[in-house]
Amino acid sequence: MAEGFLKSFDSHFEVLSAGTLPTKKVNPYAIKVMQEAGIDISQHHPKCVDEFLHLEFDYVITVCDEAKESCPVFTGKVNHLLHKGFPDPAKAKCNVDKKLELFRKVRDEINSNFYSFYLKIK
């Protein structure tokens, strides 16, 4: 979701998104709630962070609560390493309506937090 929002803020941004334990497909709840916000992430593909460890980045931003502790060391040059933790709504054990509610809450928090970040760096 963070990748989708950052790309929507500025088409000149090069944004790469990856996880420590990527799933095979983007979560359908994430796709649905992002479509509600006018952003299509249905063609995104989960990637493993290991393929990016050697690259150079202006910013590396971890977003999951656990990612800060489990994020590997980047061997490429990283100018800024930030952590913006959000709960992972995919881990919630609940019915569809509650799950969508949780995804919407996290979506809105990501949007607000990353838009503030964008305004500071643009």
Per-residue pLDDT reduced to its tens digit, 5-24: 999 999 998 999 998 889 99
pLDDT at 20 (0 to 100) = 86
pLDDT at 61 (0 to 100) = 93
Q: How sure is the predictor about 73, in pLDDT bands with cuts at 50, 70 and 90?
A: confident
Per-residue pLDDT reduced to its tens digit, 83-122: 898 999 999 999 999 999 999 999 999 999 999 999 999 8
Question: Does pTM top 0.85 for this prediction?
Answer: yes
Cβ–Cβ under 8 Å, residues 104 and 36: yes
| Dist CA 73 CA 10 (whole Å) | 28
Tell me the H-state helices in the chain: 2-9, 28-36, 67-70, 96-121
In the chain, what are the domains? 2-111 (3.40.50.2300)
Per-residue pLDDT reduced to its tens digit, 22-69: 999 999 999 999 999 999 999 999 999 999 999 999 999 988 776 556
